[in-house]
Copies of this chain bind each other. A is one copy, B any other.
Amino acid sequence: MTDLREQETLEELRGWLADNWDPERGLVEWRSMLADSGWGMPHWPREWYGRDLPAGFTPLVDAEFDRFGALQVTRSGIRMLAAATILEHGSDLHRQKFLRRIITGEDVWCQLFSEPGSGSDLAGATTRAVMVGNKWVVNGQKVWTTSAHKAHWGLLLARTDVDVPKHAGLSYFILDMQQPGVEAHPLRQMNGHASFNQVFLTDAEVLPEFQVAASGEGWNVATTTLMHERRAADSLRSWGSAGQPGTGRIYEEAQEEIRTAMAPYSWYPQRAGRVDLVMPRAHETGAIRDPVIRQEIARLLIMHKSAEWTAMRARTAQQRGRPQGPEGSLGKLASSNVARLAARVHTMVSGADAMLAGPEGPCDGTIAEILVSFPAASIAGGTDEIQKNIISERVLGMPKETRFDTDRPFRDIPRNTVS
C-alpha cells in the first residue's frame, strides 16, 4: 500500500471509531459491529467480515484501536485456528455459519487432534470416521483438548481409510460437540490441575457438509491449523497479560472473558520455572548468602537471560527483514532447560520447605507448583526430543530419521496397545 492509501484508511478508521465506539456497549454487540464493518479482521476478504487489507497493515489498525482506547477483536484461542483453517480450506457454508460467531466470541471451539496412542505422532491418529447412510459416524478417543467440556464445535482429525499410507487416510471434520455421542472428561495432571480434557467419541455424527476438504485431505488441512497454533500460543500469552482496562461495561465483560479463558493456564508460569521468584526467595530464605546456591542462581540467570537475548536477536533480525536464523527454533528447547534448572534452584533455595505444598508452602504454594509442573515444559507443545529432531533436521540439515510408517497401508503399521 502506498503511504497515501495508508493515511486514508487510518483516517476512515478513526472516523468510524469516533462514530461507533462506546464502552457501555456489550462485548458481543461491539464485536458484531467489528465483523460487519470489517475493522476487526481487516486482512480478511471483504465478503467475509474483512476489508481486504494487506496482512502487514493489521498492526497499524490495531495500534489505532489502542490509541483510541477501543477494544479490538480478540485474535486468540482455538477459534482463531478454526477461522484460519475455514478461510483456507472450508466451504462457503462453513464460512457463513462459523466465521461471524468466531469474531463475536459466541462460539467456543476445541481441537481434536491428539490421541492417547499418538502424542508426538499426530498423523498416527486411529479415531475412525465411517460413512453410515448419509452421515459420518465417528468412534475413538481424543486427548489434551482444552475447553472440550464447554465447546460448541471441534476441529476433528479422523481416519477414513486404513488401506492407504497413514497421512493419506485422514480426513478433517467440524464436529458438533454438544451431541450425545461426545463426552468430555477432565484430565487431571500430576500438579492437580485439570486444564485439559479427554474426549470420548461414541457413534458421534457429522453431516457430510461439515467435512472440510475432501476425504484423504485431512493431514493437509490439519497442517494449516498447526501452522497457526504456535502463533496462537504467543497471542494467548499477550492476551493473558493484556493491559489495564478502561471503565465501562465492555471492559468488564472483556476482563471476565479473559479470566475464564485463562483459568486453565494459571499454572503455566510455574511450568516455566518462575525465574522471577528466585532472587526474592533467596533473600527471604537467606540462601543468597550461600556461595554454593549463588553459583546455581548464577547458572540459571545466565541461561535465562541468554535465552531472552537469543529471542531478542531473532526478533531484531526479523524486523530487519533478515532470515530469522536458528534462534527462533531454539527458544522452546532453551525454555525447557531453564524450567528444569529453575526447579533445581528453587529446591536448593527453599531447602526443607521445598516439601511443602498448599497455602502453607513457600509463596502460598507457588514453589510447590513449580516443582510438580516443570516436567510439562519439556513435553507440552512438542517434546524436547521432537524439538531436537526438528533443529537437527531443519536447521542443521542433518539426515532425517528413517521412517518405517509412511509407505505402507496404515492397517499394517505396528500401533500402540498401551497409552
Contacts and interface: CB of A to CB of B under 8 A. Distances in A.
Interface of A: 290-292, 295, 402
A347 to B, nearest CB: 15
* 4 residue pairs, one from A and one from B, having the closest CB atoms: A291-B291, A292-B295, A291-B292, A292-B292
6 contacts: A290-B291, A291-B291, A291-B292, A292-B292, A292-B295, A402-B402
A392 to B, nearest CB: 15
Contacts of A295: 292
Contacts of A290: 291
Nearest to A294: B292
A291 B293 CA distance: 10
Nearest to A402: B402
A291 B402 CA distance: 49
A299 to B, nearest CB: 11
- Looking at A290, A291, A402, which has the most chain B CB atoms within 10 Å of its CB? A291
A295 B295 CA distance: 11
Contacts of A292: 291-292, 295
A404 to B, nearest CB: 8
A295 B292 CA distance: 8
A26 to B, nearest CB: 60
A399 to B, nearest CB: 12
Contacts of A291: 290-292
Contacts of A402: 402
A168 B402 CA distance: 26
A159 to B, nearest CB: 26
A180 B292 CA distance: 63
A292 B292 CA distance: 5
A402 to B, nearest CB: 7
A267 to B, nearest CB: 32
